[in-house]
Amino acid sequence: MSEGFVKVGDLKDFPAESMKSVQVNGEDVLVASVAERIYAIANTCTHRGCSLSEGELEGTVVVCPCHAGRFDVTTGKAIAPPPKKDTTSFEVRLQGTDVLVKKR
């Protein structure tokens, strides 16, 4: 396994155009499968701490279920208010069919 990375599942666990919450070293992380790529960002909205995985995925954007803030899942960038602060983005690697996310 790649140094500093944690296996969070198999590719089949992340169907196209979907997202789910996983644990990486005790941290809640949102993993999204978009356009045949896997991305990972912190699963907590920087506005009020809501769980982003309970929101909606619209292309590469996750919409927070609490106040409709929007984050780009490819970068973690806050792209629509109320959040003003970006969320953390995590490096993702594929090793065969294993999906790995880098620990912080």
54-104 pLDDT per residue, tens = 999 999 999 999 999 999 999 999 999 999 999 999 999 999 999 999 998
* Neighbouring residues of 84: CB distance < 8 A, sequence distance ≥ 6: 46, 47, 78
Cβ neighbours, 10 Å, residue 63 = 16
Confidence band of 17 (pLDDT split at 50, 70, 90): very high
Residue 18 pairs in a beta bridge with 33
* Average confidence score pLDDT of the chain: 96
Structural domain harbouring 15: 5-102
Report the C-alpha gap between 16 and 67 in whole angstroms. Answer: 26
Does the reported pTM lie above 0.75? yes
Helix and strand element counts for the chain (H, E): 0, 11
Residue 32 pairs in a beta bridge with 19, 39
Read off the CATH number of the domain in which 13 is found: 2.102.10.10
Q: How far is CA 67 from CA 12, 60, 73, 86, in A?
A: 31, 18, 17, 15
Instruction: Domain count for the chain, please give it.
Output: 1
pLDDT on residue 2: 77
